[in-house]
């Protein structure tokens, strides 16, 4: 759908078997996706994303937030990080935070289950 609707080059791969070219992408859009990566694999995947972005490239992610727990939930694997843990993962991979916010907007924090963040390749 992304390819058909945008006319842009779109890549779809398994996070645990990435094969991405170096410094190729201006941006990576990962909406409701990265939280499915087990925490022990996340540093490697983020380093691969960092390497695949052009210098100054941007990564957007939005994930359900939590208290740093992970496991199976209703038949799907998820890692639910709080802001501080997410910032550590991203910073350790060489990303600089541009902004973060909670979704949906306009609700009390306890009713905002999503953490969205934008990062630049340093």
Burial bucket for residue 81 (CB in 10 Å: 0-12, 13-18, 19+): buried
What is the model's pLDDT at position 37?
97
Name the pLDDT band for 11 (thresholds 50, 70, 90).
confident
For 83, the 3-state DSSP assignment is helix
What is the model's pLDDT at position 54?
98
- The residue ranges of every structural domain in the chain are 37-56+71-77+85-97
Percent of the chain clearing pLDDT 90 (strictly above):
91
Q: What is the DSSP letter of 32?
A: S
Asked if residue 71 has pLDDT above 90, the reply is: yes
What is the model's pLDDT at position 44?
98
DSSP string, 99-120: EEEEESTTS-GGG--EEEEEEE
What is the model's pLDDT at position 3?
87
Name the pLDDT band for 8 (thresholds 50, 70, 90).
confident
What is the model's pLDDT at position 10?
84
Entry pTM: 0.92
Name the pLDDT band for 5 (thresholds 50, 70, 90).
very high
């Amino acid at each position: 759908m992304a390819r058909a609707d945008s006319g842009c080059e779109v890549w779809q791969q398994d996070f645990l078997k990435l094969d991405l070219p170096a410094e190729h992408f201006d941006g990576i859009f990962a909406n409701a996706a990265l939280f499915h990566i087990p925490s022990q694999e996340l540093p490697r995947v983020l380093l691969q994303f960092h390497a695949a972005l052009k210098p100054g490239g941007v990564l957007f992610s939005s994930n359900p937030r939590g208290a740093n727990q992970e496991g199976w939930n209703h038949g799907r694997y998820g890692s639910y990080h709080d802001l501080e843990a997410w910032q550590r993962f991203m910073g350790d991979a060489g990303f600089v935070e541009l902004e973060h916010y909670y979704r949906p907007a306009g609700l009390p924090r306890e009713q905002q289950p999503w953490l969205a963040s934008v990062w630049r390749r340093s």
